[in-house]
Structure 1
Amino acid sequence: MGNLADRIEEYLKRILEQTPDGYIILQRSELAGEFDCVPSQINYVLDTRFTVERGYLVESRRGGGGYLRIVRLGLGMEGQYQQIMRQLIGEQLTQVRCNGLVDRLLDEQLVTVREAALIKGILSGGALSGEFSDWNVLRAQLMKSILTTLSRDDLL
């Protein structure tokens, strides 16, 4: 099996899939105990694998009665999708955030593996090289255009 972070991610996603509520509430220390790791390892997984761009909201309260609540963000009704994605993209979009958004589109089965690879390739730092100074702004505009095109084609 993969490394510890992969196992923790898979475990949390499996629990989320099984709950009808769309969210789970856990104790960080209990989760760390189950995986025989330090709580900071749990934090690392949450910070890197359960981001808004990837479709999750994590609420955390530390201390004796502290908890973690992980919410799977759905894309909801038609029209909400573009609004949510545009808010996540903003005026600038880094390569890391771009890849996270494309991974979410893939997870939601809104694009194929091939389409995801094309989008990532087009919006990669290598493809956007040259003397232009603000590639993050251009990347955000291009991603918004891609999403608009996808929704017009009734693919979303």
Structure 2
Amino acid sequence: MGAKNTSDSIEEYIKALLARVGIAELKRSELADVFQVVPSQINYVLKTRFTESRGYIVESKRGGGGYIRIGKVEFSNHHDMICELASSVGEHLSQQVFEDVIQMLFEKGVLSYQEGQLLLSLATDMVLGEGAEKIRARMLKRILQQVDRKGM
């Protein structure tokens, strides 16, 4: 396992804060000072690691009194989570969003590690070829239907 980079540390810090308080309100500049990075590094972490497809809601207000409000979406049960995910899948789905959803399903115990790895290996642009985003969207919809039937 490799050494943690700054983005990993920022992500860990925010997740630990969310675990304690549920919804965190942060100032981008203060967080950048804590980690001795430029505010754009904080933006990068938020845009890549705290996305809707990973189960987060991020509200951001820029400017002098600006803030970042982050919350983890919690579902009452797996069925509600799967239904919400399924309703948010459009006709096209990027590889990154597919990976995020599969990761969340693994973290919630809906998929095993092996199942997740298998699905990730099959849903790459290289494997799917032309029209990958359309195929991937259909795949994810079908996966969600199937795991919902498992009674998870």
**TM-score, scaled relative to structure 2:** 0.91
Letter of the structure 1 residue corresponding to residue 101 of structure 2: L
The structure 1 segments of at least 4 consecutive aligned residues displaced by more than 6 Å after TM superposition are none
Superposition pairs of residues 60-71 of structure 1, within 5 angstroms: 60-71=60-71
For 1:76 and 1:90, how far apart are their aligned partners in 2? 24
Aligned to 1:140: 137
- Contact 1:56/1:73, CA 8 A, preserved across alignment: yes
C-alpha distance in structure 1 between counterparts of 2:31 and 2:108, whole Å:
26
Gaps of 5+ in 1: none
The aligned residue for residue 80 of structure 1 is 80
Shift of 1:78: 5.1
Unaligned runs of 5+ in 2: none
Distance 1:105 1:79, change over 3 A: closer
Deviation at 1:65, TM superposition (A): 1.3
User: Which whole-Å CA distance do the structure 1 matches of 2:74 and 2:14 have between them?
Assistant: 17
Q: Which amino acid aligns with 1:68?
A: I
- Alignment root-mean-square deviation, CA: 1.5
Alignment of 1:1-156 (within 5 A): 1-19=3-21, 22-77=22-77, 79-129=79-129, 133-155=130-152
* Distance in 2 between residues matched to 1:47 and 1:78, nearest whole Å: 25
SS in 2 for 1:57: strand
How far did 1:89 drift? 1.9
Query: Displacement of 1:108 after TM fit?
Result: 2.1
Aligned-partner residue type, residue 17 of structure 1:
A
Structure having the larger proportion of residues in helix = 2
Residues in 1 aligned to 2:151 and 2:122: alpha-carbon distance in whole angstroms: 22
Q: Cα deviations across residues 72-130 of structure 1 (Å, max 9, x unaligned)?
A: 0123345422332123321111111111111111222221211110111121223213x
What percent of counterpart residues are identical?
38
Distance 2:112 2:79 in 1: 21
User: What is the letter of the counterpart of residue 12 of structure 1?
Assistant: I
- With over 3 angstroms needed to count, the CA separation of the structure-2 counterparts of 1:113 and 1:46, relative to structure 1, is same
Count of residues paired in the alignment: 150
| TM-score between the two structures when normalised by the length of structure 1 | 0.88
Q: Which amino acid aligns with 1:8?
A: I
